[in-house]
C-alpha cells in the first residue's frame, strides 16, 4: 500500500511540475518582445533575445515573444537545411529511409558498446537502453532527411519496446502468483 501511495505522490508531483512549466512558458510567451529585450540589454545580461529576431523582419512594440518564435520557426533555419532538403528530394525515399535506419542503428550500436564495456548491464537491458539513447541521439543529430517524422519514430519505437517488455514481464509475474 505504501508503495502505491509513494508512486502516486511522485506521479502527482511530476504532473504538477509539467503543468506548472506549461503555464509558466505560456506566460513568458505572452510578454512583449521589444520591452523584454530592451530591459535585458539595459541590465547587460549575457543572454538577450536578439537570436530570436529573424532577418528582415520588423519587430514593433506590440509583438509578443511567442509571435517572434512562430515567425522564426516558419522561416528556413539555415542554408544547410535547404541544401539537405534539395539533395534529399533527388534521392529516392526508400534509400533515404534505409540510410536513416542505418544511422539510427549506428548510434544505438555505439551506445550499446559503451554500456557493455563500462557497466555491468545485461544484454537485454543494454539493448533496450541503447535503442532509446540511440533514438535520442538520432533525434538531435543531423540526418539524411530534413523532416522530423522519422526522428520522432526512432524515439517512440524504443519507448514502445521498453513498455511492452515491462508489460509482458509484469503479466508473467502476475500469472506466477
Note the pLDDT of residue 21.
93
Is the pLDDT assigned to residue 175 strictly greater than 90?
no
pLDDT in tens, 16-44: 999 999 999 999 889 888 888 888 888 88
Give the confidence band of 163 by pLDDT, cuts at 50, 70, 90: very high
Burial pattern 103-138, b for ≥16 Cβ within 10 A else e, equals bbbebbeebbeebeeeeeeeeeebbbbbbbbbbbbb
More confident residue, 144 or 151: 151
pLDDT at 1 over 80: no
List CB contacts of 52: < 8 A, sequence separation 6 or more: 33, 65, 68, 69, 72
pTM value is 0.55
Q: Which residue has the higher pLDDT, 48 or 154?
A: 154
| pLDDT value at residue 69 | 83
Predicted confidence at residue 131, as pLDDT, reads 93
CA-based nearest residue to 105, from 152, 158, 164: 158
- pLDDT, mean over the chain: 85
Amino acid at each position: 500500500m505504501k508503495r502505491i501511495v509513494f508512486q502516486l505522490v511522485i506521479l502527482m508531483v511530476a504532473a504538477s511540475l509539467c503543468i506548472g512549466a506549461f503555464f509558466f512558458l505560456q506566460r513568458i510567451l505572452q510578454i512583449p518582445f521589444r520591452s523584454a529585450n530592451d530591459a535585458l540589454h539595459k541590465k547587460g545580461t549575457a543572454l538577450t533575445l536578439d537570436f530570436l529576431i529573424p532577418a528582415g523582419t520588423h519587430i514593433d512594440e506590440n509583438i509578443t515573444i511567442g509571435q517572434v518564435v512562430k515567425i522564426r520557426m516558419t522561416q528556413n533555419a539555415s542554408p544547410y537545411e535547404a541544401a539537405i532538403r534539395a539533395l534529399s528530394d533527388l534521392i529516392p525515399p526508400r534509400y533515404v529511409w534505409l540510410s536513416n535506419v542505418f544511422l539510427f542503428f549506428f548510434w544505438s550500436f555505439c551506445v550499446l558498446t559503451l554500456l557493455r564495456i563500462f557497466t555491468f548491464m545485461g544484454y537485454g537491458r543494454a539493448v533496450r537502453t541503447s535503442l532509446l539513447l540511440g533514438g535520442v541521439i538520432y533525434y538531435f543529430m543531423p540526418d539524411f532527411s530534413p523532416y522530423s517524422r522519422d526522428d520522432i519514430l526512432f524515439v517512440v519505437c524504443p519507448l514502445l519496446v521498453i513498455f511492452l517488455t515491462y508489460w509482458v514481464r509484469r503479466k508473467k509475474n502476475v500469472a506466477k502468483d
